[in-house]
Amino acid sequence: VTPRAGQRRSTPPMPPVRRIELPGAGPEDVVLGADGLVYTGIADGRILRVDIATEGVEVVANTGGRPLGLCAVGDGSLLICDAHRGLLRWTGTEIEVLVGAVDDGPLNMASNVVGDPRDGTVYFTASSRRWPLELWMGDLLEHSGTGRLFQHSPDGTTATLLDNLQYANGIAFAPDRASLIVAETAAYRLNRYWVRGPKAGTREVLIENLPGFPDNIALGSDGLIWVTLAAPRNPLLDRLLPAPAIARKLLWRVPDRLMPRPARTAWVIAVDHAGTIVHDLQRDGADYAMVTGVAEANGTLVLGSLDESALGLTHLPS
């Protein structure tokens, strides 16, 4: 395990986080829309539009499920991964289901999504075949390896590009859009999947042995891939990683008060196209914690969280 996993703040630390309170909990992902405003989805299904300058918050839609990863499209629409309903699109006036089922049944735990503006192809992840969002820790304990990367084409067909991923999560285009960067939360790594060029259709590891659990990721205005680390690595989970599946499943018999809990922290990193860490920003989670979404624009960082009832706002250190 990397020594960085045991540290609780970066050098320099992440600057203080300003909270923008929301009318509900769990803004799991954040994206910047074509209108310059921030969009997020909260636990009760509502999609919110937030002006970070005025702190104004407006409800624009409701998925009827649990929205997670988002992607803002240039025409003003929004692609939405909904843990209960699948891959959705908000047109600006209504919610439509793009993918509600795949070959083996209903699409479970759609996690994050990105659209290619050149041809309309949509790429998205699903974290687990076995576990619902409400029991996400079960997948990490079991290490089920049932996450997937999908491609949804403009003709309406959906294909599996990668299978057996360890809790597939965040997805973003590399700056040249020749490849996708895909986070595997339970494997502590980022993968590169080539969609164009001589390596098209192949996968390689971009960065591994991350010091925390990577969640949503996003391409920043600086050309870097911004990665949220929702929590530091857990020593118990690391010890269980090579253990037989039956040993990991026995943890479900442990009283809830003794189960491993994510340590409270606010943590994001940024990596370049080669997987080199350019920024590492962490602070204690006293005011804001479990960062699962990030959007960067001109040095400003907008943060989302599976647990908080607010967005977080911070910036690159001077």
The per-residue pLDDT for range 134-188, each reduced to its tens digit, is 776 667 777 778 999 999 999 999 999 999 999 999 999 999 999 999 999 999 9
Does the structure show a pLDDT above 70 at 241?
A: no
The token pair that represents 70 in the structure block? 């988002």
pLDDT score of 103? 85
242: confidence class by pLDDT, cuts 50, 70, 90:
low
**DSSP secondary-structure letter at 110?**
E
Residue that the structure tokens 């996450």 belong to: 147
- Quick one: tokens of 178? 């020749």
Residue 134, pLDDT score: 78
Rounded to two decimals, the pTM is 0.93
Indicate the range of 16-20, 242-246, 272-276, 278-282 predicted with least confidence.
242-246
Ranges 74-83, 114-123, 230-239, 301-310: which has the least confidence: 230-239
Question: Rounded to whole angstroms, how far apart are CA atoms 195 and 177?
Answer: 8
Q: Which of 141, 136, 172 is nearest to 29 (CA)?
A: 172
List the 122-126 sheet strands across, edge first: 110-115, 122-126, 147-152, 158-165
Residue ranges per structural domain of the chain: 3-250+258-315
Mean pLDDT over residues 47-51, rounded? Answer: 98
Q: How many C-beta neighbours within 10 Å does residue 227 have?
A: 26
Asked if the model's pLDDT at residue 110 lies above 90, the reply is: yes
Distances (CA, A) of 31 to 37, 142, 308: 8, 31, 17
* 102, 139, 164 from 106: Cα distances, Å: 6, 18, 17
> What are the distances in angstroms from CA 111 to CA 147, 185, 195, 219, 268?
10, 11, 20, 17, 18
Average pLDDT over every residue of 195-220: 97
Task: State residue 250's pLDDT score.
Answer: 61
User: Is pLDDT larger for residue 103 or for residue 230?
Assistant: 230
28 phi-psi bin (left φ>0, alpha ψ -120 to 50, beta other):
alpha
What is the mean pLDDT of the segment spanning 279-307?
97
Task: Name the superfamily (CATH) of residues 3-250+258-315.
Answer: TolB, C-terminal domain (2.120.10.30)
Give the pLDDT confidence of 253-279 residue by residue, as tens digits: 655 565 556 789 999 999 999 999 999
168-173, strands of its sheet edge to edge = 168-173, 179-184, 189-194, 203-207
The one-letter code for the residue type at 34 is: A
Q: Could you tell me the strand order of the sheet in which 67-72 lies?
A: 67-72, 78-82, 86-90, 95-99
Burial of 297 (0-12, 13-18, 19+ CB in 10 A): middle
In order of 32, 72, 74, the CA distances from 213 in angstroms are 23, 24, 30
Compute the average pLDDT of residues 271-288.
Answer: 96
Q: Does residue 66 carry a pLDDT above 80?
A: yes
Give the pLDDT confidence score for residue 255 in this predicted structure: 59
Q: Given this model, what pLDDT does residue 258 score?
A: 55
In the chain, what percentage of residues exceed pLDDT 70? 91
Local structure of residue 47 (DSSP, 8 states): E
pLDDT at site 2: 84
Q: Does residue 92 come out as left (phi exceeding 0), alpha (psi in the -120 to 50 range) or beta?
A: left
